[in-house]
Amino acid sequence: MFKQCFIKRLLCRFFLPLAVLALMSSKAQAISLISDEETELLLQKITAPIFKAAGVPFNRNKVFIVNDESLNAFVSDGNYLFVHTGTIIAADDVEELSGVIAHETGHITGGHIITQKIKAQEMQRVSLASMILAGGAAAASGNGNVAMAVALGSQSSMMTNYFQYRTEQERSADESAVKFLQQTKQSPIGLYRFMKKINQTNEMSGVEESPYFRTHPMNQERLKFLEKAAKESPYAPMPPYQEEFSRVKAKLLAFLSEPNETFRKYPLQNTSVAAQYAQAIAFYKLLNLNQALSLINGLIEKEPNNPFFHELKAQMYMETGKVNQAKTEYQKALNLMPSAASLQIALAQATLETNPTSAELRNIISILNKANISQPSAMGWMLLSRAYGMQGDKAYSTYAAAEYSAAIGEYKTALKQLKIAQDFAQNNPALRLKISDLENRVKPLSERQRRY
């Protein structure tokens, strides 16, 4: 199910605008994330082999899709990988996307995340020292222009040094990316094409137009290195998962763009599966449900075992109030992909809206518990609390509600709910242990939240 959400994370981005030097350690950036099983599965198929080649542990719960049209991707502490939707949509094929991910993996193995933090701290100290020096110069000369000249000179030197340092890191990541791609029997041609595309875009529109250029300084030496590596690669450009990539790209564009833009990119004369996928979403956004369903039913007829076509059909039904039909389609999708947490949650949500029987409630509780083990989510805990409540189980319902509150950062509320859950769980040692574990996790977070 295609969903968007907003979160706040402390991100280690690979750039340092001069204006925010003093704010690096204290500001959290809000980013919009997209949850979509089909896109996440594709990223998993691309990323897992590259991480394995690099010796980096892979966890699909640490790969995120950022709802941002700019061309960018980045990594953060704990081997988290963030890929912008703009990068996926702008990539011409899966090789380009794979190249970008290999490059970001190079930043992980190069230890660039921690060294970037150290460099940022050094720059903060230098920036502070330059301001003190400028103040001293102004006091000595009685001329404010002298202070400005001293400060600008120090900062110019600092930024020149920083960008040189960043370019060296980027070259190192390029070299690692080529190695990882070769080890996974892929040509570096995709990485070369993508970087060339970024470079050409900036030459035409200016550096400030491309966040990827700011975060990944490019020069001709790097391009020549990648071009040479692509020419020398023994592996022909044979993109794996190209059809899956085409569909994901069409799906993202259709959900994130206006319908007229979708029809411009995927005109009705285009009858490929990817195009019809996008067209179905565009018609749905135009509130033309009949035409949307006609297209998606045609795709299901072609590929009856594709869970994502059933999922899209279910989403259309769910969002237009046809809950029983949605429940049927979500069940079909889950039967085809039983371990997909997003489908488990979607089916649970639809079922809970249909006055479920006792047997259905037991099934939904089982499904939601599996989802919260494989991919814990606030929605999963909220629905589980609701399901337990409908079953009359106050202890587990309150405990699940506390998990939900903790997941959304409401730690004070979570602690209150845990106290109530403890009272309900007097005769349930297993649940009391879970409550105690959650309390131990939440207390430090609540105290930290109170301090700041």
Inside any domain, residue 279 = no
Inside any domain, residue 69 = yes
Inside any domain, residue 395 = no
What CATH number should be reported for the domain holding residue 212?
A: 3.30.2010.10
pLDDT for 61 equals 92
Residue 272, pLDDT > 90, answer yes
Q: Residue 71 belongs to what domain range?
A: 3-232
Inside any domain, residue 444 = no
pLDDT for 13 equals 27
Residue 215 or 391, more confident: 391
Task: Tell me the C-alpha distance between 198 and 41, whole Å.
Answer: 26
If one counts the domains in the chain, the total is 1
pLDDT for 208 equals 45
pLDDT for 221 equals 86
Q: Which of 94-108, 167-181, 261-275, 297-311 has the lowest mean pLDDT?
A: 167-181
Span 186-209, average pLDDT: 77
Span 352-364, average pLDDT: 96
pLDDT for 26 equals 33
Residue 87, pLDDT > 90, answer yes
Inside any domain, residue 358 = no
Q: What is the mean pLDDT of the chain?
A: 83
pLDDT for 70 equals 87
- Residues 402-419: tens digit of each pLDDT: 999 999 999 999 999 999
Span 222-229, average pLDDT: 92
pTM, entire model: 0.81
Residue 399, pLDDT > 80, answer yes
pLDDT for 113 equals 62
Inside any domain, residue 56 = yes
Task: Tell me the C-alpha distance between 357 and 349, whole Å.
Answer: 14
pLDDT for 204 equals 55
Inside any domain, residue 277 = no
Inside any domain, residue 46 = yes
pLDDT for 198 equals 82
Residue 172 or 157, more confident: 172
- Residues 304-343: tens digit of each pLDDT: 999 999 999 999 999 999 999 999 999 999 999 999 999 9
pLDDT for 205 equals 55
- Residues 53-62: tens digit of each pLDDT: 999 999 999 9
